[in-house]
């Protein structure tokens, strides 16, 4: 029987393979989002971004998939310290560390020109936005839109369908405890108080 270390090593290898396949996929349709024209990377948590009310900000929390933090660390050389770590239980005996980025741990990859510095390796949560996945009680994927994204009217249906298919294919690998964290992160308010951060919007 496999011990936990062997099981985790095999699981990590499977996730790394999936991430590589997703990132190498050249068939992803253009999203048609007008990020640079209409927005200032509102969905990327960054230094100086205040915890604005939900009608002013898109989604300031990025939640990485299992082993996605490790994948990004390996590809970019960034340290684990830049991520906020949330543990989730995979089984009663096995705990996974999930990396997140939020206003308390701003994304280290956002460039001054509002472009992503690791676009070729960036998290699936970033790639998927403004589409927001969730899990219904029966275990099926549901979708909503980050309503505060100013590009919603331009979002390509072909891109949406492609991303939804990508998540459907990953669904059997994602533990329910990850979905609980993803939902929790939507309501995360542990950012620095406005008075403690510099307003840059
Ligand atoms: S996806 Fe939407 S919120 Fe994010 S940078 Fe583009 S326009 Fe802005
Ligand atoms: S990884 Fe890139 S797309 Fe994601 S939050 Fe950081 S800068 Fe934005």
Our answer on whether the CB atom of 131 is closer than 6 Å to any ligand 1 atom is: no
Instruction: Return the residue whose CA atom lies nearest to atom 3 of ligand 1.
Output: 149
Give every CB contact of residue 146 below 8 A, 6+ residues apart in sequence.
43, 58, 59, 129, 130, 131, 132, 152
Which alpha helices (DSSP H) does 40-156 contain, by range?
A: 68-76, 124-128
pLDDT confidence of residue 29? 97
- As beta bridge partners, residue 89 has 95
Atom in ligand 2 nearest the alpha carbon of residue 110:
7
Residue 124 CA: which ligand is closest? 2
Q: Tell me the CA distances in angstroms from 161 to 16, 107, 128, 143, one per residue in order.
A: 23, 27, 11, 11
pLDDT confidence of residue 2? 64
**What is the C-alpha separation between 174 and 15, in angstroms, rounded?**
10
Q: Indicate the domain borders of the chain.
A: 33-188
Helix (H, G, I), strand (E, B) or coil at 132: strand
Per-residue pLDDT, averaged over 63-70, amounts to 98
pLDDT confidence of residue 197? 44
Residue 57 CA: which ligand is closest? 1
Per-residue pLDDT, averaged over 119-142, amounts to 94
Share the mean pLDDT of the chain. 89
Our answer on whether the CB atom of 57 is closer than 6 Å to any ligand 1 atom is: no
Per-residue pLDDT, averaged over 50-73, amounts to 81
Per-residue pLDDT, averaged over 42-63, amounts to 75
Report the predicted TM-score, pTM, of the whole model to 2 decimal places: 0.91
Our answer on whether the CB atom of 35 is closer than 6 Å to any ligand 1 atom is: yes
pLDDT confidence of residue 198? 41
User: In which band, very low, low, confident or very high, does the pLDDT at 186 lie, cut at 50, 70 and 90?
Assistant: confident
Cα 59 to ligand 1 centre (Å): 9
**What is the C-alpha separation between 28 and 161, in angstroms, rounded?**
10
Atom in ligand 2 nearest the alpha carbon of residue 107:
6
pLDDT confidence of residue 141? 97
Residue 19 has pLDDT above 50, yes or no: yes
Q: What angle do CA 83, 106, 172 make, to 5 degrees?
A: 50
User: Is the separation of the CB atoms in 136 and 142 below 8 Å?
Assistant: yes
Query: Residue 185's CB: how many other CB atoms inside 10 A?
Result: 19
Residue 32 CA: which ligand is closest? 1
Highest mean pLDDT among 62-76, 101-115, 144-158, 177-191: 62-76
């Amino acid at each position: 029987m496999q011990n936990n270390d062997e099981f985790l090593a095999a699981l990590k290898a499977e996730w790394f393979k999936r991430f590589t396949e997703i990132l190498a996929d050249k068939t992803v349709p253009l999203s048609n989002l007008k990020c640079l024209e209409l927005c200032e990377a509102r969905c990327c948590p960054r230094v100086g971004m205040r915890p604005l009310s939900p009608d002013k900000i898109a989604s300031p929390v990025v939640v990485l998939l299992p082993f996605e933090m490790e994948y990004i660390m390996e590809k970019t050389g960034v340290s684990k310290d830049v991520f906020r770590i949330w543990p989730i239980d995979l089984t009663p005996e096995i705990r996974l560390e999930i990396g997140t980025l939020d206003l308390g741990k701003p994304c280290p990859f956002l460039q001054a020109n509002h472009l992503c510095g690791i676009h070729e390796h960036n998290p699936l949560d970033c790639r998927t936005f403004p589409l927001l996945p969730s899990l219904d009680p029966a275990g099926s994927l549901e979708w909503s839109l980050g309503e505060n994204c100013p590009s919603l009217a331009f979002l390509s249906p072909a891109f949406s369908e492609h991303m939804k298919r990508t998540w459907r294919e990953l669904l059997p690998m994602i533990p329910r405890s990850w979905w609980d964290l993803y939902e929790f992160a939507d309501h995360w308010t542990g950012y620095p108080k406005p008075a403690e951060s510099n307003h840059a919007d």
